[in-house]
Amino acid sequence: MAMIKGPGIFLAQFAGAEPPFNDLRSIGRWAAGLGYKGVQIPTWEARLFDLDRAAESDTYCDEIKGTLAEEGLAITELSTHLQGQLVAVHPAYDEAFGGFAPASLRGNPRGRQEWAVGQLLKAARASQRLGLKAHATFSGALAWPYLYPWPQRPAGLIEAAFEELARRWRPILDAFDTAGVDVCYEIHPGEDLFDGATFERFLENVGNHPRCHLLYDPSHFVLQQLDYLGFIDVYHPHIKIFHVKDAEFRPNARQGVYGGYESWIDRAGRFRSLGDGQVDFTGIFSKLTQYGYDGWAVLEWECCIKHPEQGAAEGAPFIQRHLIRTADKAFDDFASAGTDAAANRRMLGLE
C-alpha cells in the first residue's frame, strides 16, 4: 500500500499584504517553520505566483521549485478555484462573482468566461512544467439556483445545465490530458458538482473523461449530512487531492442544513480548525491509506472562531499524527505454519 504525503497547506487563506504572507519565499519559510512539507498554490494570488510566466517558462517554474526546495518544501498542486468558478456562472451570481476576474471584464459574462477558460489552459501547461500530476479547481454552476425549487423545475432543466457544463469543460479536460494532469473538482455546495450523484452526472456528460476526478474535502459533507466515509468506499478511484478540513453540524429547533442566512458563527453547520469539529479523521486516513491514496494531505484552514495562525500551527502536527506508515508484512506472519501446496491439499482433505 502507498503512503499519504504530508503535511501540506493551502496558501489561499493565508496570503496577504503583510510579511511573511506577501511573497512565496517568506510564506514558504513560515509554513516550513510550522512543520509543513508541501504547499498548494492559489494561481490567482499574484504576490505568490505568476501563472502567465509559469505556463510559458521552464526557467520560471524551476525558480519557483527551487525557492520552495530551499525551505524544504514541495508544490503539492496548483489551484484555480476562483477561475474554475467562472467557467460557468448563473446570471443570478454575475455581480457576486464579478470580483473574481479582472476589473475590465465587469459586466461582460462572455469575456469573463473566456478569460477563465484561458486561465485553466495556462494552469494545465504550468502544472506540466512543474511536474505536477493533479490540479485543484471548482466546476462552476448553472443549476445551483434550482437546487430545492419552488415552483417545481421544468422537465429537462438539470439535464440541459449539465450538458452545457460538460461542453464548457471538455476542451479544458482535453488540455489537461495533453499535459498529463488530473483535474480534481472540489465537491462543494454552490457548485453544480456538490455530491456524488452530481459528480456521476457530470462524469457521464464528459464521456467518462480520464482526467475528470475529485478533490475530497469531508467538511462539506458534514454540512450536507452526507456519509463522508462511505463516499471514499464508492469514489476512491477518483480521489486524487485531499483537503484536510474540519466541520461540525449541530441542528437545533431554529435551523438545520439550510441555516446559511445566519453569520458563520451562528450557523448549525460551521467549518472548524482541525480537531475542533466532528470529522472522523482517523477513519478518513485509514480508508484513504487502505485504498492506496498516495497524494498529499493538505490543510485548508477555515474557522469562524480560531485565529488562522493558530489553526495553521496546530494543523501540521495534527496531520502528521494521522499519517499512516503502511505495513510491509502481515501482522500474523509470526504464526505461519510454513505449509506448501501439497500440505494445503492435505488440509482440505484432497489427498
pTM of the model: 0.95
Residue 207 pLDDT:
98
Rounded CA-CA distance 170/120 in Å is: 12
Q: What is the 8-class DSSP label of residue 153?
A: P
Residue 71 pLDDT:
98
Give which of 37, 149, 7, 22 is closest to 90, Cα–Cα: 149
Q: Which CATH architecture has domain 5-347?
A: Alpha-Beta Barrel (3.20)
Residue 334 pLDDT:
64
Helical H segments across 11-87, by residue range: 24-33, 51-56, 58-69, 81-85
Give which of 123, 144, 245, 240 is closest to 195, Cα–Cα: 144
Residue 142's φ and ψ, nearest 5 degrees, are -110, -30
Please identify every stretch of the chain with a pLDDT value under 50, giving residue numbers as ranges: none
Q: Is there a contact between 264 and 271 (Cβ–Cβ < 8 Å)?
A: yes
Q: How far is CA 191 from CA 8, 10, 14, 238, 324, in A?
A: 25, 20, 23, 18, 32
Supply 256's cell numbers.
438545520
Q: Is there a contact between 317 and 35 (Cβ–Cβ < 8 Å)?
A: yes
Residue 326 pLDDT:
87
Phi-psi region of 274 (alpha: psi -120 to 50; beta: other; left: phi over 0): beta
Residue 306 pLDDT:
97
Residue 336 pLDDT:
73
Q: Provide CB contacts within 8 A for 44, sequence distance 6+.
A: 51, 80, 82, 83, 100
Residue 335 pLDDT:
66
pLDDT tens, residue by residue, 269-320: 999 999 999 999 999 999 999 999 999 999 999 999 999 999 999 999 999 9
